[in-house]
Amino acid sequence: MVLPVVLVVAVLVLFPLGQGVLFTFTDVDEGTIANPVLGRPATYEWVGLRNYAGILSGDPGYGAFWGTLGRTMVWTFGCVLCHYALGLGLALLLNRQVRGRAVYRALLILPWAVPAFVSAFAWRHLLNARYGIVNQVLRALGLPDPVWLGQSDWALVAVMVVNVWLGTPFMMVALLGGLQSIPTTLYEAAEVDGASPWQRFRHVTLPGLRAVSGTVVLLGVIWTFNMFAVVYLITGANPNTRLLVTYAFERFFSAASRDYAVASTYGVLILSVLLVFAAAYRRALREEAA
Amino acid sequence: MKRSPLASVGLHAALVCASAVAVFPVFWVLVTSFKPDARAVSSRLLDESTVDNYVRVLSGEKGDFLAWTANSVSIALATTVLAVFLSATAAYAASRFRFAGRRVLLRSFLLVQMFPFAVLIVPLYNVLLALGLQGSSFGLVLVYCTTAVPFCTYMLKGYFDTVPAEIDEAGRVDGLSPFGVFWRLIVPLSRPGLAVTGFYAFLTAWGEVAFASALLSASDESKTLAVGLQVFVQQNRTEWGHLAAASVLVALPAVALFYPVQRYLVTGLSSGAVKG
């Protein structure tokens, strides 16, 4: 029964992945790739590790790798931290007996239900420097109204806000499920023993959420690190919001030459960074459990 | 536990604020969608509001909206059906049978999440070309399945693990084949998990932009909504009113599908995450 999946995954993932990895050792671009439609054979050549050397040297012509990596880290950990903190906070609120809980939950999940590209349009409208509602309100309050999506660090702040808005419902729902699976008897026992609310949170809630937290944080980091749609749809090719994955896509599509080789090399480097992170994360989790 | 009135007020205040933040951008798009393009940037709630934008978008004056919708619906539904079927069978096998490569399979599913898919467009295009599926919507469905299936399998495996194995044994004793057990017993018991995965697969396909613009043929009739909506964003000028109306029309089916599913989301997602 597992065979169909293995077949589909092999043909549509492993094969392209292998080809992508091969590309990283070549100088393939739109002019040299085989084009069966035009009946043109491949003319790209092996260049060994040139792509890796170019990128890892931090050459701006190769996307200033280290700076971009740093920005991607800020983006990833900033977003996931906010996702988790807000998601946990809201889940705790929703886990109480509160009137209208179903309504609140439905409203809070809304950002998740709306397709990402629609949300991206909505936020570009809200954050427009001249006539966006956010800046109109800021002006009315006499506060500074920055150009959110321009060539400054505000752009990164803006896309992070949007991504936090988008991603919090997922965390909230997952953690709410985790909270509901903690037996209430544990809380009662803790209360009988005279534990304060903070102690109950610290010693009952957090350990009870460990398994869920471990998984959703890892997934959150992977997804956020590779989040492409939000950044690209909101700020396009703005160097102030350039992440590893959006730069790879830029090399891929927007650049005049369509540099597939460098884009693929970025793909492999992104994979390596995430693999290292996942291994370290799993080990940390295991040690904490032991 | 009794709550003091002050704590209750605080609780509701926090929830109301959070809900307002969650809803406002969507609400604002809704408001904008009724304004003419020229008034779309005003901060007034109602400003010469009409339904003209909707009429023009639906009548096809601004691109073939109905054809895009048909494409998006068929692609998203095909992805959902195929992805749920593939991931459910794979997850069931991974949950119940011990076979060579089982751990590798589950690990590789997580690995697939790590590789930035945007970078695979050219190799994927080559594969579709070799299969004779370039530019076709079925090719796109297969590509979406490769993103949706690994995550869905991961989640469903955790879900199936929570269904007691005694049920399988009872089914076998009653003379069902392994597939029969899966289809007649496990699937009906796992509806929440399946609803969540199906929903996830649907949204993956419904809102995806990069692959749809790269892999579908360029003709206007074959576009999906996500690609088609780009016509409202011209180089220097965005037709906000029309864009908003089209966005509302795009978001409605997703939201409509979402709400019946959402009460399953909590259980479906967390049991997958806990056991995954």
- Supply the ipTM of this predicted assembly: 0.83
- Chain B within 8 Å of A206 (Cβ-Cβ)? no
In this prediction, residues A247-273 reach a mean pLDDT of 82
Q: What is the pLDDT of residue A86?
A: 95
**Is residue B226 a contact partner of residue A114, using CB atoms and an 8 Å limit?**
no
Q: How confident is the model at residue A73 (pLDDT cuts 50, 70, 90)?
A: very high
User: Which residues in chain B have their CB less than 8 angstroms from residue A119's CB?
Assistant: 25-26
Q: Which SS3 state, helix, strand or coil, does residue A26 take?
A: strand
Q: Is A84 within 8 Å of chain B by CB?
A: no
Q: Which of A2, A131, A196, A259 to mutate to test the interface with B (most CBs of B within 10 A)?
A: A2
Choose the closest CB to B123 out of A19, A94, A177.
A19
Say whether residue B244 is in contact with chain A using an 8 A CB cutoff: yes
Across the range A218-238, mean pLDDT stands at 85
Interatomic CA distance for residues A20 and B147, integer angstroms: 17
Q: Does A161 touch chain B (CB under 8 A)?
A: no
Distance CA A67, CA A44 (A): 29
Instruction: Tell me the pLDDT tens digit for each residue of A128-182.
Output: 877 788 888 888 888 888 888 888 888 999 999 999 999 999 899 888 888 888 8
What is the average pLDDT across A43-47?
81
pLDDT given for residue B276 in this prediction: 39
Q: A173–B269: do the CB atoms touch at under 8 Å?
A: yes
* CB A111 within 8 Å of CB A119: yes
Handedness of CA A77, A78, A80, A85 (dihedral sign): positive
Q: Rounded mean pLDDT of A16-24?
A: 85
The answer to whether B57 and B65 are in contact (CB under 8 A) is yes
Q: Does A201 touch chain B (CB under 8 A)?
A: no
Query: d(Cα B227, Cα B245) in Å, to the nearest integer?
Result: 16
Shortest Cα distance from B127 to chain A (angstroms)? 7
Residue A148 near residue A127 (C-beta atoms within 8 A): yes
On whether any CB of chain A is under 8 Å from the CB of B90, the answer is yes
Nearest to B126 among A19, A93, A212 (CB): A19
pTM: 0.86
Alpha-carbon span A97 to A81, nearest angstrom: 27
Q: How far is CA B174 from CA A1, B123, B184, B190, in A?
A: 21, 48, 12, 20
Most confident of A8-12, A276-280, B149-153: A276-280
Among B87, B270, B275, most A C-beta atoms within 10 A, so best to mutate, is B270
Q: Which chain A residues are within 8 Å of B23, Cβ to Cβ?
A: 107, 110
- Distance CA(A219)–CA(A80), nearest Å, equals 10
How confident is the model at residue B275, as a pLDDT?
Answer: 45
Q: What is the C-alpha separation between A113 and B85, in angstroms, rounded?
A: 23
Q: For all residues of chain A together, what is the average pLDDT?
A: 85
**What pLDDT, on a 0 to 100 scale, did the predictor assign at position B234?**
63
- CA–CA distance from A273 to each of A267, A268, A282, B111 (Å)? 10, 9, 14, 12
* List of chain B residues with pLDDT < 70: 1-2, 118, 234-237, 266-276
Three-state SS letters, A124-191:
HHHCCCCCCHHHHHHHHCCCCCCCCCCCCCHHHHHHHHHHHHHHHHHHHHHHHHHHHCCCHHHHHHHH
pLDDT tens per residue across span B199-225: 888 888 888 887 888 777 777 778 888
Interface contact flag, A114 B26, Cβ < 8 Å: yes
What are the φ/ψ torsions at residue B269 (nearest 5 degrees)?
A: -70, -45
Q: Got the DSSP string for B69-88?
A: HHHHHHHHHHHHHHHHHHHH
Residue of B nearest to A166 (CA): B22
For residue A93, what pLDDT band results from cuts at 50, 70 and 90? very high
Chain A residues near residue B258 by CB distance under 8 angstroms: 109, 112-113
Q: For chain A, how are helix, strand and coil distributed in percent, rounded to 5?
A: 70, 0, 25
Query: For A69-85, what is the mean pLDDT?
Result: 94
Once rounded to an integer, what is the mean pLDDT over residues A62-72?
Answer: 89
Give yes or no for residue A245 having a pLDDT over 50: yes
Residue A273 neighbours by CB under 8 Å, 6+ apart:
A69, A225, A244
Look at B255 and A113 and tell me if their CB atoms are within 8 Å.
Answer: yes
Find the mean pLDDT for residues A217-244: 86
The nearest CA of chain A is from the CA of B84 a distance in Å of 11
Which tokens belong to B121?
Answer: 């467009």
Identify any residues that bridge with B238 across adjacent strands, giving them in sequence order.
B233
Q: Does B12 touch chain A (CB under 8 A)?
A: yes
Q: Is 50 exceeded by the pLDDT of residue A53?
A: yes
Q: Which residues of A touch B41 (CB under 8 A)?
A: 128, 130-131
Measured between beta carbons, the chain B residues lying within 8 angstroms of A173 are 265-266, 269-270
Quick check: A131 contacting B, CB < 8 Å? yes
CA–CA distance, A56 with A54 (Å, rounded to integer): 6
3-state secondary structure of B267: helix
Domains present along chain B, CATH in parentheses: 58-272 (1.10.3720.10)
Q: Which of A35, A44, A125 to mutate to test the interface with B (most CBs of B within 10 A)?
A: A125
